[in-house]
């Protein structure tokens, strides 16, 4: 799904930067100077580095019209969490190592921002997931996810069993080190490393990827994005955790149930006009090389 940004709609710009990154501070200072007609919002660590007033994450979520990400994919995921589901376009400038979602090189940041402010940029609309953790039928954790929901164990924990259902229909009981529930965006992250498929981001679906399953017949499966996945942990557990987007972790117990389904909110990602999705795969992952 794609779209465009209306010209003149972007008055307030949030700068969300990777902490302790001198290059991010320098670029933030440059953008603020070049686009002085706009109001910029910065988080505490960046404001202190720039010597400028900073605002809370809540104020960024409420008032930002555009978010510029100065970092890598982890910084972009953090930015998506800061925005709390608001449909704010995100422009990712790559200051990380891979930068699969932060597609814009530092040298093109100013030019790309001008394109965005002129209403000439195109957007990708990315599916997100809602994750709920139930314990004795009470919700003890609810979160939104851009990449993946992961159930896994520590290095010394025993293999766990994951009884999995889709819209009430039994799927399988995975005897494995864990299970990954991934969006199409997250299909090139942990799920890919665990043997999952690459999914084009325009396809709304969920990839279910067992981690080191103890059966050759248990392979990754792709299911519709509009159905509810449910997994219950059915054996005695020790050091097994639920992790959402690699940002928040929660210890699990026997009988806990995790539900994953398509979120009503989506992430709007400013596209690099010089790269299509397969060009990104080739450039970042060397996909298709012989």
Contacts of residue 165, defined as CB under 8 A and 6 or more positions apart, other chains included, come to 171, 229, 230, 231
Tell me the C-alpha distance between 128 and 84, whole Å: 12
DSSP secondary structure code for residue 104 in this structure = B
C-alpha to C-alpha distance for 208 and 186, rounded to whole angstroms: 11
Give the residue numbers marked as catalytic: 73
Its sign, for the CA torsion 19, 24, 26, 32, is negative
CA distance 172 to 192: 20
Closest by Cα among 180, 102, 109 to 145: 180
* Interacting residues of 164 by C-beta distance below 8 A, sequence separation 6+: 170, 171, 172, 173, 174, 179, 208, 229, 230, 231
């Amino acid at each position: 799904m794609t779209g465009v940004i209306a010209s003149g709609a972007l008055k307030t710009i949030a700068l969300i930067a990777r902490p302790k990154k001198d290059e991010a501070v320098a670029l933030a200072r440059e953008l603020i100077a070049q686009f002085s007609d706009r109001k910029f919002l910065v988080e505490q660590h960046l404001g202190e580095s720039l010597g400028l007033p900073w605002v809370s994450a809540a104020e960024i979520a409420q008032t930002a019209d555009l978010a510029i990400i100065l970092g890598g994919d982890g910084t972009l995921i953090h930015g998506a969490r800061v925005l709390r589901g608001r449909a704010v376009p995100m422009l990712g400038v790559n200051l990380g190592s891979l930068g699969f979602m932060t597609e814009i090189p530092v040298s093109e940041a100013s030019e790309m921002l001008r394109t965005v402010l002129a209403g000439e940029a195109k957007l990708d609309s990315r599916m997100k997931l809602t994750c709920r953790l139930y314990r004795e039928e009470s919700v003890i954790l609810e979160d939104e996810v851009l990449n993946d929901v992961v159930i896994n164990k520590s290095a010394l924990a025993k293999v766990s069993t994951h009884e999995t259902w889709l819209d009430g229909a039994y799927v399988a009981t995975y005897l494995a080190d864990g299970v990954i529930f991934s969006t199409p965006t997250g299909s090139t992250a942990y799920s890919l490393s665990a043997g999952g498929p690459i999914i084009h981001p325009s396809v709304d679906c969920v990839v279910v990827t067992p981690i080191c399953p103890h059966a050759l017949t248990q392979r990754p499966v792709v299911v519709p994005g509009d159905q509810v996945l449910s997994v219950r942990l059915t054996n005695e557990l020790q050091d097994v955790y639920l992790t959402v987007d690699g940002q928040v972790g929660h210890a699990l117990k026997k009988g806990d149930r995790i539900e994953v389904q398509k979120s009503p909110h989506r992430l709007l990602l400013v596209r690099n006009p010089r790269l299509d999705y397969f060009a990104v795969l080739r450039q970042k992952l060397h996909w298709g090389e012989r």
